[in-house]
A = this chain, B = another copy of it.
């Protein structure tokens, strides 16, 4: 635990960026948060107040130029600049932890991977990882260990959902303009998990999807929906069912089931906030985490620590970058399939069989 600490900067201090900053500043013993950047001065001021010695920048590029000891950047800015900021850091030789998704475009996502592959030829120890937080969750890891161990036989059917608590503020409508749509924003996690559990070399064969606007018809102006259901076929005879929603009453409900030829593992089939049962005249009640962060906070902290360790110790990144590109490709295809009503098919190399109609 002794030795030099990884010198880290966080780009973006919004909802998730501030949390990353805290995780690296106080819950990652081997890292030191030395700089933050945000286009919002108030966010920089607040970070200065909270983190003391940290240096603050309104301009991301200036930060890269001005921090000679910087070793790693956590990109948690707006999705629209994820790829650009990541590529700049990659080209500056820095380690990068980029929030999901790399981009809402499969092509742009690919460009990050390309930049990394190019850069890492010269710098074999450079680490670039997309932050699929569920890979760091203790329950998902336990489930994955069992699947890898053969406990369920051959994993064959994968069902997963990412469902947000209903937010009557209209947040998700504004957010939809840039989110890439519900399949790219929410289901990206489930797609990443599907690849992780069913085989990271699985090649998509087809996607289909349907969707509705049950609570927010305004989403239609952004070509989005508030509830979507999708199907994925892989070329090796495995199938995936997805559900994404912005309409949960009780709380965040992210559930996954992996069905194998000899058994099944399920994660969060019975959601709860903690170990408390509340007995009332109306029955027995459990509360549910309200947000993904309530559910996955520990996973984000583990992610910060493991990313730090792989940079310092030059060990493999826990989540390989190519999967993040595949996940965006599949997520975009599902979103398109939902909007057009068309099934989209891919050949055995995963190349799309016909062009997009939108």
Q: Which residues of A contact B (CB under 8 A)?
A: 1-2, 25-27, 29, 50-53, 138-139, 142-143, 146, 151-152, 154, 156-157, 159, 206, 208-215, 227, 229, 231, 233, 237-239, 241, 243, 245, 247-251, 259-288, 341-343
Question: Whole-angstrom distance between the alpha carbons of A237 and B210 in the complex?
Answer: 10
Contact (A263, B280) CB under 8 Å given A214-B154, A237-B212, A343-B208: yes
Q: Which of A52, A213, A260, A277 has most B Cβ within 10 Å?
A: A277
**B-chain residues with CB within 8 Å of residue A273 when the two chains form the complex:** 142, 283
Closest chain B residue to A158, Cβ basis: B229
The smallest C-beta distance from A166 to any residue of chain B, in angstroms, reads 8
A47 to chain B, nearest CB (A): 11
CB <8 Å contact, A284 and B250: yes
Selected contact of A278 from candidates B51, B206, B263, CB within 8 Å: B263
A279 to B250, Cβ gap below 8 A? Answer: yes
Q: How far is the CA of A341 from the CA of B272 in the complex (A)?
A: 38
Q: Which residues of chain B are near A249, meaning CB under 8 Å?
A: 152, 260, 262-264, 279-281
| CA A210 to CA B209, docked complex, whole Å | 12
Q: Which of A154, A259, A265 has the most CB of B within 10 A?
A: A259
Looking at A243, A265, A269, the one whose CB has the most chain B CB atoms below 10 A away is A269
Partner of A50, one of B1, B139, B146, B245: B1
Bound state CA distance, A238 and B27, in angstroms?
Answer: 42
Distance in angstroms between the alpha carbons of A275 and B299 in the assembled complex: 13
Sorted nearest first, the 6 A-B pairs with minimum C-beta distance are A2-B52, A264-B279, A156-B214, A139-B275, A26-B29, A139-B274
Closest to A232 in B: B210
Known: A157-B214, A227-B157, A247-B156. A263 touches B239 (CB 8 A): no
Contact A283 B285, CB 8 Å, known A266-B277, A275-B139? yes
